[in-house]
């Protein structure tokens, strides 16, 4: 069949079977809001999730409320905590994927697979988004510091590195929204955990001999990246600096003597003889530039630990910290334009519930119930980060993992892993302390857009260019379109199959993008179907299941490679 003839049939189909193909753009507020929630509060829609969210008028808001209260690890079953049998199996405590204690063999791939698995399959989707938010916020490229752990032990450096990265990751998962749920808790854990203490040189911050000066690395980034940030915006809209170089030097001094004990599995310890005690008994005043100074009482030896501890408490409750974290959350969950929008009260509303320790679920509750979050013009204004992009495509096609015996085949996650790698993001291993960039600009380079299209191609076809990628997520496209009406006729020909194929086009685009597609999008997917037909040539027969499946794959690749796949 020639391309022209088939296109003619397609046009005939458009005219005759108008129902499915003109679904695009049809206003349906509940459906559109459900898709928005699935893109922002989850790693993208699945057909099951959209069905749930649209089952009642309050479905999306009910989902948000439930997501704000993930299960407590101590009082839940593994399936409840992890968010489903599949993800529980993937990271099963008895399974082979993840380490259970320091020294267990573990690789970077194991950690990547776990992050991808949680993002794609856990029911606790908002918790996973928050886990990655805190991972980026408290980013550690510990891989660069592996030699620190090489202290004569038989255990390989990288087993230490990946164990501590996993331990911190699990902490952010457990306490970054549920559990303790405070910013102070996350900050204190991070400040005293091996990942950060080695990564930003806290372990080398010692003043022992006359003339020794503190190592500024951790204190500087703690103020700049993790708490108050360089500037806050005052009530008049003016930017005000928060700290000076002198503040960094004093903060560095307060953290001297903070160390790890290799003999105790690198648990935190304080060495008073490495601490630089203040020369006077007067309190140390910091952040004077901000207009909201904090005062830290002078410690008396050997209680020097307390001034660093007190500093963390004061930083966590400082208004500049609350503003900075809330700004980042708004940019992440709404968009960058809303942060200081003169018509929005969202930032102030979130800061009002911050409290003294940073009440994360309260802050997120305000954000996700705000008009700024819900409004239509917020939708599709954020570029997906690589993890969000690869997870969303897999979720839209209802991907599943193969099982081998008791456990899912983790290598199924190779395609998304390599796609993320190609988009420049190695989870947990981003080298700089400011974390993987999240701005729209940073996500939308030409090569990243190409990689998204390639990923769609690899994922859907299950065909990989390198030998070791033999496993892939299972996507059953025939099952995916089985409920599409009208169905493929019993004795299909190209002529009588056109209405079905048009409905397939619509189903694929709707599953991926809700109503955010156009007639031009539909024609492109249709054109991809025709490309397959022409590629196979004169032997093409839609009654042949392989040929039918090839058409579905061509359409799915094109649909998943569109620009919308990069937006949420």
Q: Which of 158, 271, 272, 422 binds other proteins (CB under 8 A)?
A: 422
Tell me if 531 contacts other proteins by CB under 8 A: yes
Give the residue among 119, 120, 115, 126 at the shortest CA–CA distance from 66: 126
Tell me if 466 contacts other proteins by CB under 8 A: yes
Q: Which of 464, 494, 543, 547 binds other proteins (CB under 8 A)?
A: 464
Q: Which tokens sit at 234?
A: 């005052």
Q: What is the closest distance, in whole angstroms, from the C-beta atom of residue 406 to other proteins in the complex?
A: 31
Q: Which of 109, 146, 453, 494 binds other proteins (CB under 8 A)?
A: 453
CB distance 412 to 471 below 8 Å: yes
Report the distance separating Cα 466 and Cα 532, nearest Å: 23
User: How many positions of this chain bind other proteins (CB under 8 A)?
Assistant: 78
Judged by beta carbon, residue 28 or residue 212, the one nearer other proteins is 212
Q: What is the closest distance, in whole angstroms, from the C-beta atom of residue 460 to other proteins in the complex?
A: 8
Binders of other proteins among residues 56 to 115 (CB under 8 A) are: none
CB distance 246 to 252 below 8 Å: no
Judged by beta carbon, residue 181 or residue 214, the one nearer other proteins is 214
Q: What is the closest distance, in whole angstroms, from the C-beta atom of residue 485 to other proteins in the complex?
A: 26
Q: What is the closest distance, in whole angstroms, from the C-beta atom of residue 428 to other proteins in the complex?
A: 15
Give the residue among 475, 497, 471 at the shortest CA–CA distance from 557: 475
| DSSP H/E element including 13 | helix 3-16
- Left, alpha or beta for 284 (phi > 0: left; psi -120 to 50: alpha)? beta
Judged by beta carbon, residue 24 or residue 92, the one nearer other proteins is 24
Judged by beta carbon, residue 86 or residue 453, the one nearer other proteins is 453
Give the residue among 272, 242, 267 at the shortest CA–CA distance from 257: 272
Q: How many of the other CB atoms lie within 10 Å of CB of 441? A: 9
Report the distance separating Cα 351 and Cα 363, nearest Å: 7
Report the distance separating Cα 234 and Cα 333, nearest Å: 23
371: Cβ contacts below 8 Å, ≥ 6 apart:
none
Judged by beta carbon, residue 388 or residue 457, the one nearer other proteins is 457
Judged by beta carbon, residue 196 or residue 448, the one nearer other proteins is 448
Judged by beta carbon, residue 224 or residue 359, the one nearer other proteins is 224
Judged by beta carbon, residue 102 or residue 453, the one nearer other proteins is 453
Binders of other proteins among residues 209 to 268 (CB under 8 A) are: 209, 211-217, 220, 224, 230-231, 233, 239, 245-246, 248-249
Tell me if 285 contacts other proteins by CB under 8 A: no
Q: How many of the other CB atoms lie within 10 Å of CB of 468? A: 8
Q: Which of 518, 519, 544, 545 binds other proteins (CB under 8 A)?
A: 518
First to last CA, the chain: 38
Phi/psi at 241 (5° precision): -65, 150
Binders of other proteins among residues 112 to 151 (CB under 8 A) are: 144
Q: What is the closest distance, in whole angstroms, from the C-beta atom of residue 473 to other proteins in the complex?
A: 15
Binders of other proteins among residues 351 to 380 (CB under 8 A) are: 380
Q: Which of 100, 447, 476, 485 binds other proteins (CB under 8 A)?
A: 447
User: How buried is residue 300: exposed, middle or buried, by Cβ count under 10 Å (0-12/13-18/19+)?
Assistant: exposed
Report the distance separating Cα 280 and Cα 210, nearest Å: 17
Binders of other proteins among residues 288 to 317 (CB under 8 A) are: none
Tell me if 432 contacts other proteins by CB under 8 A: yes
Q: What is the closest distance, in whole angstroms, from the C-beta atom of residue 365 to other proteins in the complex?
A: 27
Judged by beta carbon, residue 353 or residue 453, the one nearer other proteins is 453
Judged by beta carbon, residue 182 or residue 229, the one nearer other proteins is 229
Give the residue among 206, 205, 207, 202 at the shortest CA–CA distance from 190: 202
Binders of other proteins among residues 539 to 558 (CB under 8 A) are: 550, 553-554, 557-558
Q: Which of 8, 285, 442, 519 binds other proteins (CB under 8 A)?
A: 442
Q: Which of 170, 421, 474, 541 binds other proteins (CB under 8 A)?
A: 421
Q: How many of the other CB atoms lie within 10 Å of CB of 156? A: 15
Q: How many of the other CB atoms lie within 10 Å of CB of 93? A: 9
For tokens 């305000």, what's the residue? 366
Tell me if 524 contacts other proteins by CB under 8 A: yes
Give the residue among 170, 116, 129, 167 at the shortest CA–CA distance from 399: 116
Q: Which of 158, 167, 440, 487 binds other proteins (CB under 8 A)?
A: 440
Judged by beta carbon, residue 246 or residue 297, the one nearer other proteins is 246
Q: What is the closest distance, in whole angstroms, from the C-beta atom of residue 405 to other proteins in the complex?
A: 29
Give the residue among 379, 65, 437, 398 at the shortest CA–CA distance from 225: 437
Q: What is the closest distance, in whole angstroms, from the C-beta atom of residue 250 to other proteins in the complex?
A: 10
Cα of 262 vs its chain's centroid, Å: 32
Tell me if 463 contacts other proteins by CB under 8 A: yes
Tell me if 437 contacts other proteins by CB under 8 A: yes
Work out the angle at residue 463's Cα, subtended by the Cα atoms of residues 460 and 466, and round it to the nearest 5 degrees: 135
Judged by beta carbon, residue 369 or residue 440, the one nearer other proteins is 440
Judged by beta carbon, residue 355 or residue 437, the one nearer other proteins is 437
Report the distance separating Cα 496 and Cα 504, nearest Å: 14
Give the residue among 300, 305, 352 at the shortest CA–CA distance from 326: 352
Binders of other proteins among residues 141 to 200 (CB under 8 A) are: 144, 200
């Amino acid at each position: 069949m020639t391309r022209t003839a088939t296109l003619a049939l397609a046009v005939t189909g458009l005219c005759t079977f108008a129902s499915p193909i003109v679904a695009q753009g049809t206003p349906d507020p509940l459906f559109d809001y459900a898709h928005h929630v699935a893109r922002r509060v989850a790693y993208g829609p699945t057909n099951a999730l959209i069905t749930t969210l649209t089952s009642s008028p309050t479905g999306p808001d009910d989902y948000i409320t439930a997501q704000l209260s993930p299960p407590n690890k101590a009082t839940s079953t593994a399936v409840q905590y992890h968010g489903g049998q599949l993800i529980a199996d993937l990271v099963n405590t008895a399974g082979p994927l993840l380490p259970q204690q320091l020294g267990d063999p573990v690789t970077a791939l194991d950690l990547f697979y776990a992050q991808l698995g949680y993002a794609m399959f856990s029911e606790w989707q908002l918790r996973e988004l928050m886990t990655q938010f805190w991972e980026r916020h408290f980013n550690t490229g510990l891989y660069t510091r592996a030699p620190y752990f090489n202290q004569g032990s038989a255990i390989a450096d990288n087993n230490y590195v990946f164990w501590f990265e996993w331990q911190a990751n699990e902490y952010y998962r457990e306490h970054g929204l549920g559990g303790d749920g405070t910013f102070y808790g996350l900050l204190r854990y991070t400040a005293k955990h091996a990942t950060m203490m080695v990564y930003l040189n806290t372990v080398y911050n010692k003043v022992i001999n006359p003339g020794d000066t503190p190592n500024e690395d951790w204190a500087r980034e703690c103020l700049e990246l993790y708490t108050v940030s360089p500037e806050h915006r005052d009530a008049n809209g003016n930017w005000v600096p928060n700290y000076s170089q002198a503040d960094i030097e004093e903060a560095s001094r307060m953290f001297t003597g903070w160390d790890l004990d290799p003999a105790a599995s690198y648990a935190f310890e304080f060495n008073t003889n490495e601490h630089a005690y203040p020369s006077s008994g007067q309190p140390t005043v910091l952040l004077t530039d901000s207009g909201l100074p904090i005062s830290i009482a002078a410690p008396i030896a050997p209680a020097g630990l307390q001034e660093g501890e007190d500093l963390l408490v004061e930083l966590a409750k400082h208004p500049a910290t609350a503003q900075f974290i809330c700004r980042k959350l708004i940019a992440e969950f709404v968009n960058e334009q809303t942060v200081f929008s003169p018509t929005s009260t969202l930032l102030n509303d979130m800061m009002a519930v911050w409290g003294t320790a940073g009440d994360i679920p309260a802050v997120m509750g305000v954000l996700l119930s705000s008009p700024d979050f819900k409004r239509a013009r917020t939708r599709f204004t954020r570029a997906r980060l690589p993890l969000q992009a690869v997870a969303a495509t897999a979720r839209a096609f209802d991907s599943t993992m193969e099982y081998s015996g008791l456990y899912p085949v983790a290598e199924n996650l190779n395609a998304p892993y390599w796609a993320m790698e190609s988009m420049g993001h190695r989870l947990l291993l981003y080298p700089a302390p400011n974390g993987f960039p999240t701005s729209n600009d940073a996500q939308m380079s030409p090569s990243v857009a190409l990689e998204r299209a390639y990923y769609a191609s690899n994922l859907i076809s299950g065909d990989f260019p390198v030998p070791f990628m033999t496993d892939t997520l299972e996507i059953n496209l025939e099952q995916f379109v089985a409920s599409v009406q009208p169905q493929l006729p019993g004795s299909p020909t190209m002529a009588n199959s056109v209405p079905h194929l048009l409905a397939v086009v619509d189903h694929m685009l709707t599953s991926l993008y809700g109503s955010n597609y156009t007639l031009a999008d539909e024609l492109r997917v249709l054109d991809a179907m025709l490309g397959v037909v022409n590629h196979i040539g004169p032997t093409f027969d839609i009654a042949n299941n392989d040929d039918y499946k090839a058409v579905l794959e061509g359409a799915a690749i094109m649909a998943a490679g569109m620009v919308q796949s990069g937006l949420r």
